[in-house]
């Protein structure tokens, strides 16, 4: 069995046409050979009939003239009219003795067939078989008229005819295959457009559409493709709108939580510190051994205040709209460097202007960077984290400008299970949702043997389309 997996459809169909054509040629050749053999046998049988009738007439003439000295059998008259190359005519008596025999010479202008073909032809058709007719006189058989043909003659004729058919076949088959292949290539040319459309859909270009095709089957595929692209675009638009609303609700909930923590928990910690200071003054006058406990309570409250301040900073970052995206990110990186004390070391590079971006867009970009830096600091074990933010201008040949965000670290990728958890974790999922809401693309890769890379590309045109949805929300 041939392995057709991955082969070209045009080639497969052309080979099948070639195989079917070869089988048809074999059947037609067999039919012509059978008809030729039947014609030869019919001719031999007719010669034997004529010879038998002639000999019976000779017997009747001898008996009518009562001429016992007349020559019998006399096949000269018959041989003169029916003899052909390779044909043999004879009279055989009842005793089996051949009394008279005539044979025509074999043809010399035809090439001898190959031995294999000659053996196969003789085995299938037995061209040397005799045609026998009894010669009857007054109801008594006096002998037999026998006709046969030299096996080499019909074998050579069959090879000659088969050779002509083979020559025609060898010319016609390549032409037929070429025409079939060209017709299939022309008919299947729209499949390239279908493949290109699918690749564009896979790359995220939901505006891809297929034109109408001449073939009804391909046209039906194109209609289904266009309907699927439209529904997918509508579903993605609804999903982005819902994601934007969820993100706004999430940010509002974070601001509310930060406000509650600042107003309630922060004031409680401030009260504890004040009480600890008051208790220390009292202990200094009345009970000096309690000074250490009062100082411990004050330090614990101070540490809790620092922890609360960091949590409030993550829950409610500085107003990006007022400070600007670049200044806010520089402050975020400086804060991480202060808390990590150089392990890891955070670096930032910003190129381009981001002042004209909507507040919701800058807030989402800030949250994406914040989550990415948190993942790099907590999970990668990196010693260096590099942040690059770039406003890439539109290329001269066409296209649109885009915001490119890259975060690289030299941390260890960890075990496969941990890496899969990072890929599917809530942090990366949240970043994907924010990037998708902005109409961008996010990719995350781990290097070998170490390091990881996060890439975010957000087209400016997609941001402009998403902005009305955010304001409506």
Distance CA 44, CA 285 (A): 149
Query: What percentage of the chain has pLDDT greater than the value 70?
Result: 86
Counting every residue written for the chain, the total comes to 473
**How far, rounded to the nearest angstrom, does the alpha carbon of residue 113 sit from its chain's CA centroid?**
50
The candidate with the shortest Cα–Cα distance to 332, out of 353, 351, 310, is 310
What pLDDT score was predicted for residue 124?
Answer: 87
Q: What's the whole-number mean pLDDT along residues 100-112? A: 73
pLDDT mean over 311-317? 68
Convert the pLDDT of each residue in 164-207 to its tens digit. Answer: 888 888 999 999 999 988 988 888 888 888 888 888 888 777 78
pTM: 0.50
Q: HSE of 447 in the Cβ direction (CA atoms, 13 Å)? A: 14
- Of 440 and 342, the structure prediction assigns the larger pLDDT to 440
So what's the pLDDT on residue 426?
54
For the chain, the average pLDDT equals: 80
Task: State how far the alpha carbon of 385 is from the alpha carbons of 97, 346, 349, 409, 442, in Å.
Answer: 115, 5, 11, 4, 18
DSSP letters spanning 44-94: HHHHHHHHHHHHHHHHHHHHHHT-TTS-----HHHHHHH--TTEEEEEEET
The 10s digit of each residue's pLDDT in 193-248 is 888 888 888 877 778 888 888 888 888 888 898 999 889 888 877 877 787 777 77
pLDDT reported for residue 421: 39
Q: What local confidence, expressed as pLDDT, does residue 107 receive?
A: 62
The residue whose two tokens read 């958890």 is 421
Residue 337 has pLDDT above 70, yes or no: yes
**In this structure, what DSSP letter does residue 445 have?**
E
Distance CA 148, CA 151 (A): 9
Report the relative pairing of strands 87-93 and 98-103 from DSSP bridges: antiparallel
Q: Does residue 327 carry a pLDDT above 70?
A: yes
List the strands of the sheet with 402-409, edge to edge.
345-351, 384-392, 402-409, 452-459, 441-446
User: Distances in Å between the alpha carbon of 103 and those of 51, 89, 90, 344, 427?
Assistant: 14, 6, 9, 111, 103
What pLDDT, on a 0 to 100 scale, did the predictor assign at position 446?
Answer: 79
Instruction: Give 151-189 as a DSSP string.
Output: THHHHHHHHHHHHHHHHHHHHHHHHHHHHHHHHHHHHTT
Q: Count of alpha carbons within 13 Å of 265, Cβ hemisphere only?
A: 16
- Dump pLDDT digits (tens) for 380-416: 677 888 999 998 877 666 567 888 999 988 876 554 4
The number of angstroms, rounded, from the C-alpha of 411 to the middle of its chain's C-alpha atoms is: 37
**N-terminal to C-terminal alpha carbon distance within the chain:** 62
DSSP-assigned states of every residue in 12-51: HHHHHHHHHHHHHHHHHHHHHHHHHHHHHHHHHHHHHHHH
pLDDT one-digit tens code per residue, 42-93: 989 998 898 889 888 888 887 777 765 557 788 887 887 888 888 888 988 8
Residue 19 confidence class, pLDDT cut points 50, 70, 90 = very high
- Provide the pLDDT for residue 5: 56
pLDDT-derived band of residue 325, with 50, 70 and 90 as boundaries?
Answer: confident
């Amino acid at each position: 069995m041939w392995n057709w997996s991955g082969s070209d459809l045009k080639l497969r169909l052309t080979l099948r046409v070639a195989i079917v054509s070869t089988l048809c040629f074999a059947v037609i050749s067999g039919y012509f050979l059978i008809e030729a053999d039947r014609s030869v046998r019919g001719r031999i049988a007719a010669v034997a009939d004529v010879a038998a009738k002639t000999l019976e007439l000779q017997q009747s003439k001898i008996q009518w003239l009562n001429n016992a000295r007349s020559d019998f059998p006399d096949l000269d008259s018959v041989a003169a009219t029916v003899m052909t190359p390779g044909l043999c005519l004879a009279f055989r008596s009842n005793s089996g003795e051949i009394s008279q025999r005539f044979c025509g010479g074999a043809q010399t202008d035809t090439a001898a067939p190959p031995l294999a073909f000659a053996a196969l032809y003789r085995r299938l058709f037995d061209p040397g078989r005799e045609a026998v007719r009894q010669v009857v006189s007054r109801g008594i058989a006096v002998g037999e008229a026998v006709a046969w043909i030299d096996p080499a003659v019909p074998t050579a004729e069959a090879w000659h005819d088969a050779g002509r058919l083979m020559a025609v076949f060898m010319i016609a088959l390549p032409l037929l295959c070429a025409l079939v292949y060209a017709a299939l290539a022309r008919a299947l040319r729209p499949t390239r457009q279908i493949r290109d459309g699918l690749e564009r859909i896979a790359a995220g270009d939901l505006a891809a559409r297929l034109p109408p095709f001449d073939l009804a089957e391909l046209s039906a595929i194109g209609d289904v493709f266009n309907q699927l692209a439209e529904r997918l675009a509508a579903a993605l638009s609804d999903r982005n709108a819902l994601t934007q609303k969820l993100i706004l609700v999430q940010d509002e909930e974070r601001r509310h939580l930060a406000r509650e923590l600042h107003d309630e928990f922060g004031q409680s910690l401030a009260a504890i510190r004040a009480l600890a200071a008051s208790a220390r003054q009292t202990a200094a006058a009345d009970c000096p051994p309690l000074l250490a406990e009062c100082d411990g309570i004050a330090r614990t409250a101070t540490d809790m205040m620092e922890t609360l301040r960091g949590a409030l900073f993550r829950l409610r970052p500085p107003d990006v709209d007022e400070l600007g995206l670049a200044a806010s990110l520089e402050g975020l990186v400086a804060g991480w460097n202060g808390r990590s004390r150089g392990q890891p070391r955070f670096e930032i590079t910003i190129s381009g202007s981001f002042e004209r971006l909507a507040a919701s867009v800058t807030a989402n970009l800030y949250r994406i960077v914040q989550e990415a830096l948190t993942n790099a600091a907590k999970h990668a074990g990196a010693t260096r984290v590099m942040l690059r933010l770039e406003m890439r201008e539109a290329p001269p040949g066409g296209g649109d400008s885009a915001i490119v965000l890259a975060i690289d670290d030299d941390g260890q990728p960890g075990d496969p299970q941990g890496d899969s958890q990072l890929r599917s974790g809530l942090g990366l999922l949240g970043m994907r949702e924010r990037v998708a809401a902005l109409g961008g693309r996010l990719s995350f890769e781990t290097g070998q043997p170490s390091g990881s890379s996060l890439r975010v590309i957000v087209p400016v045109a997609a941001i402009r389309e998403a902005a009305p949805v955010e304001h409506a929300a």
